[in-house]
């Protein structure tokens, strides 16, 4: 697949890291195919993270993701999902490799700066959650 989906999460937006994170993304060879700044509603966040509904951190995850504006974007590159997960690094910034987006910009496991899709199927589903086909293609 050539597409992946990312969100710049509220902590990174409020810390003024939108520009630096987009620079890392474009310097790594991704093309920004679609992008917008939005505020997630609680119901949207609950659906988006529905797979984590039964996890102990679900409520705080939804509260965090709705606490301020986020940037959602569709990124294009060969092997995009795997390439982007390598660029963002481990979910836990303490375990993320140096130079990765989470090592540079994340505050903690829960405030970990960005989201990146974990499969081609999820990338398309997540992109279509926020964008219409004509905005992406």
Binding residues for ATP: 9, 57, 85, 91, 102, 112
Positions 10 through 39 that interact with ligand ATP (CB under 6 A) = none
Positions 89 through 118 that interact with ligand ATP (CB under 6 A) = 91, 109-110, 112, 115-116, 118
Q: Report the nearest approach of ligand ATP to the CB of residue 134 (Å).
A: 26
Main-chain dihedrals φ then ψ at residue 73, nearest 5 degrees: -150, 150
Q: Report the nearest approach of ligand ATP to the CB of residue 54 (Å).
A: 13
- For position 83 contacting ligand ATP by CB under 6 A, the verdict is no
Interstrand relation of 3-8 and 70-76 (parallel, antiparallel or unpaired) = antiparallel
Query: In terms of CB distance, is 57 or 129 closer to ligand ATP?
Result: 57
**Encoding tokens for residue 67?**
């606490």
- Active-site annotation, residues: 115
Nearest to residue 4, comparing CAs of 133, 117, 134?
A: 117
d(CA 44, CA 5) in angstroms, rounded, equals 16
Main-chain dihedrals φ then ψ at residue 134, nearest 5 degrees: -70, -20
Q: Which residues are at the interface with ligand ATP (CB under 6 A)? A: 52, 57, 61, 91, 109-110, 112, 115-116, 118
């Amino acid at each position: 697949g050539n597409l992946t989906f990312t969100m710049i999460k509220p902590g990174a937006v409020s810390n003024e890291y939108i520009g630096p994170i987009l620079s890392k993304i474009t310097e790594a060879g991704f093309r920004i195919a679609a992008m917008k700044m939005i505020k997630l509603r609680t119901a949207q966040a609950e659906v988006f993270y529905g797979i984590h509904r039964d996890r102990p951190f679900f409520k705080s995850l939804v509260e965090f993701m709705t606490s301020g504006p986020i940037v959602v974007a569709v990124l294009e590159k060969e092997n995009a999902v795997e390439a982007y997960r390598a660029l963002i690094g481990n979910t836990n910034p303490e375990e993320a490799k140096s130079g990765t987006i989470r090592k540079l910009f994340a505050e903690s496991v829960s405030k970990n700066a960005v989201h990146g899709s974990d499969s081609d199927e999820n990338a398309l589903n997540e992109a279509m959650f926020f964008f219409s086909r004509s905005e992406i293609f």
